[in-house]
């Protein structure tokens, strides 16, 4: 029984670290880029709002309310900082023009024009739709230093960002597909997105 628990724990650690251990195509083409982040890099390298545990998010619900609003998988990833298995999200292969929104709140997060094929198995983007669309937090779990990315509307977990992406930013926002909703250009957005944009019309995206 103890060995089974140890194997399960190891599997979780490997999955959580997987995105950072699978460098993008851009990194493979550029030697000498380090994967880990440090405090000295914060304002120079990454696009987003740096925040600590006191950051106030405009959309707030109790964890019980989140559970009632999200599927089990969505809750695990968005609210419990989980990670989906690589190459399992249909959004990994999206090539249409459109916008990626937060599956937690409907907040606009990424334009499809910034999506690129990273080869890691997760939807990857080189920049968010706005500089304040995502919040960045230092993540020192599992014996490594990474930069966690959450939506700036609710603090819901999206993935991590790494300094091994393509030009023009050199960044790779490695996102869980479960954390995102994709709406192609010309398609009717779901109610969640409509409601969010009614509350925050200044964030309405354009293509």
Which residues are known to be catalytic?
A: 174
Strand order in the sheet with 98-102: 108-111, 98-102, 180-184
Q: Which of 59, 80, 77, 81 is nearest to 146 (CA)?
A: 81
Instruction: Give the separation between CA 20 and CA 57, rounded to whole angstroms.
Output: 27
Which three-class secondary structure string do you get for the chain? Answer: CHHHHHHHHHHHHHHHHHHHHCCCHHHHCCCCCCCCCCHHHHHHHCCCEECCCCCCCCCCCCHHHHHHHCCHHHHHHHCCCCCCCCCCCHHHHCCCCEEEEECCCCCEEEEHHHEECCCCCCCEECCCCCCCCEEEEEECHHHCCEEEEEECCCCCEEEEEECCCCCCCCCEEEECHHHEEEEECCCCCCHHHHHHHHHCHHHCCCC
């Amino acid at each position: 029984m103890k060995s089974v628990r140890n194997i399960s724990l190891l599997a979780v650690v490997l999955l959580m670290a997987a995105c950072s251990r699978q460098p993008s195509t851009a990194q493979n083409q550029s030697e000498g880029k380090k994967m880990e982040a440090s405090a000295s890099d914060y304002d120079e390298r990454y696009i987003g709002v740096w925040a600590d545990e006191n950051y106030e998010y405009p959309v707030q619900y109790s964890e019980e309310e989140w559970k009632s609003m999200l599927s089990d998988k969505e809750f695990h990833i968005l609210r419990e900082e989980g990670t989906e298995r690589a190459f399992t999200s249909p959004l990994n292969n999206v090539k249409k023009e459109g916008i990626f929104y937060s599956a937690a709140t409907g907040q606009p997060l990424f334009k499809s024009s910034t999506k690129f094929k990273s080869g890691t198995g997760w939807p990857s983007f080189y920049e968010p739709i706005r500089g304040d669309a995502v919040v960045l937090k230092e993540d020192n779990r599992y014996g490594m230093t990474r930069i966690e990315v959450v939506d700036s509307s609710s603090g819901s977990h999206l993935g991590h960002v790494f300094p091994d992406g393509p030009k023009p930013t050199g960044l790779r926002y490695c996102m869980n597909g479960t954390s995102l909703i994709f709406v192609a250009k010309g398609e009717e957005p779901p109610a969640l997105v409509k409601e969010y944009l009614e509350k925050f019309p200044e964030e309405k995206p354009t293509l």
